Amino acid sequence: MTKYTGFVGTYTKGDSKGIYSFTLDTSLSKIMDVQVAAELENPTYLTVSENNQFIYSVVKDGDEGGVGALSLDPQTGKLTHLNKVTTAGSPPCHVSVGKENRNVFSANYHKGTIESYLINEDGTILPATSVVEHHGSGPDPRQDKPHTHYSAFTPDEKFVIAVELGADKIFSYEVSNGVLKEINQLTVKSGSGPRHIVFHPTQKFAYVMTEFSSEVIVLAYNDMDASFTEIEYKSTLPESFSENNQGSAIHISSDGKFIYAGNRGHNTIAIFKVNEENGTLTFVEHTSTEGNWPRDFVLDPSEKFIVASNQESSNLVLFSRDAQTGKLTLIQSDINVPDPVCVKFLNDVG
């Protein structure tokens, strides 16, 4: 019997109290024990340290926003506040942590910035060592200024990548002692609104989800200078769909064989098979998320399941995953979590 602990970041504008935890029992194929793990204001995005000892979260504190550190008891799932670093203005929308638990990075949609923080040995966060402001705009009315949506290490942790939705750009940075220095940038299709990026686990490819054009951008990645080259664009929507849709999350299976991309509006996860020779994608199918506005989803540590979070219908959904076909099968859709945004699992360290 294997049980995995998951966490959900939420908006606290309604009934939500903050960060929620849950248990996935893989032998029963069921999510249970949903409870408040920590009370925070708008902890919309979370990240778990590699050793499962800490969670880093987006935080809002009155008129200030930033990142917060929480310690984690992996046995009980209980979170304890450690500290937070905030500045005036809106909170970030994304936070990530390095494998050695020495660096935290955040992306601020409203400010168009990325921030770099160093971490103490006790898991607490130091004040920002770098704040990089992006520039530019795009043709969509929502691209009136920079809106940075993602910042994190590359898989080898040699570089930091920022995805800039407002300016249709992907920025690459070197980082030394927490200080960021831009070394490359790629401009993608005008008005596409790039949102998040994932890297192929063994090949030099990366995949970007766009919010406005609802596409996956397939990129060749040069790990020597952190540069990217466009290969293809693949729509995540049926040709017949003409209503409002906004692309959301993107994830790749650890064997590199399948890409999963979220559609808010069409309310599906689009599944693609990866050609590992050239990185290109072949559409497999759409799977309904059984709710409204799937903001995020995550593969569990066994990758036999996917858990999706529907923000507007306040429910988590559990699917089983076929590792050979990539297809998803609905198991459970009535898991109530108010205004869920981000879903993460503890890492499988044993």
Which of helix, strand or coil describes residue 141?
helix
Report the distance separating Cα 275 and Cα 22, nearest Å: 35
pLDDT above 70 covers what percent of the chain?
Answer: 99
- Check if the beta carbon of residue 84 is closer than 8 Å to that of residue 67: yes
Q: How confident is the model at residue 350 (pLDDT cuts 50, 70, 90)?
A: low
Measure the CA angle with vertex 70, ends 66 and 72; round to 5°. 155
Report the distance separating Cα 146 and Cα 130, nearest Å: 17
Measure the CA angle with vertex 110, ends 107 and 115; round to 5°. 30
Strands in 194-199's sheet, in edge-to-edge order, are 194-199, 205-210, 215-222, 227-235
Average pLDDT over residues 328-335: 97
Distances (CA, A) of 235 to 1, 11, 63, 140: 39, 29, 38, 18
- Check if the beta carbon of residue 147 is closer than 8 Å to that of residue 196: no
Would you mind telling me the total number of residues written for the chain in this entry? 350
Judged against a pLDDT cut of 70, whether residue 327 lies above it is answered with yes
> What are the structure tokens assigned to 310, written together?
């529907």
What would the DSSP string read from start to end of 27-45? TTTEEEEEEEEEE-S----
Average pLDDT over residues 139-155: 98
- Return the pLDDT at 76: 79
Judged against a pLDDT cut of 80, whether residue 74 lies above it is answered with no
Judged against a pLDDT cut of 70, whether residue 118 lies above it is answered with yes
Strands in 103-108's sheet, in edge-to-edge order, are 94-97, 103-108, 113-118, 130-133
Report the distance separating Cα 28 and Cα 5, nearest Å: 14
Question: What would the pLDDT profile of 14-59 be if each residue is shown by its tens digit?
Answer: 999 999 999 999 999 999 999 999 999 999 999 999 999 999 999 9
Q: How confident is the model at residue 349 (pLDDT cuts 50, 70, 90)?
A: confident
Q: Please state the φ and ψ torsions of residue 141, each to the nearest 5 degrees.
A: -55, -25
Report the distance separating Cα 324 and Cα 48, nearest Å: 28
Judged against a pLDDT cut of 80, whether residue 278 lies above it is answered with yes
288 contacts: CB under 8 Å, gap ≥ 6: 267, 268, 330
- Return the pLDDT at 75: 77
Q: How many CB atoms lie within 10 A of CB 152?
A: 26
- Return the pLDDT at 147: 98
- Check if the beta carbon of residue 43 is closer than 8 Å to that of residue 10: yes
- Return the pLDDT at 348: 87
- CA Rg, the chain, in Å? 19
Report the distance separating Cα 152 and Cα 196, nearest Å: 10
> What are the structure tokens assigned to 23, written together?
């248990």
Average pLDDT, the chain: 97
Q: How confident is the model at residue 329 (pLDDT cuts 50, 70, 90)?
A: very high
Question: What would the pLDDT profile of 172-216 be if each residue is shown by its tens digit?
Answer: 999 999 999 999 999 999 999 999 999 999 999 999 999 999 999
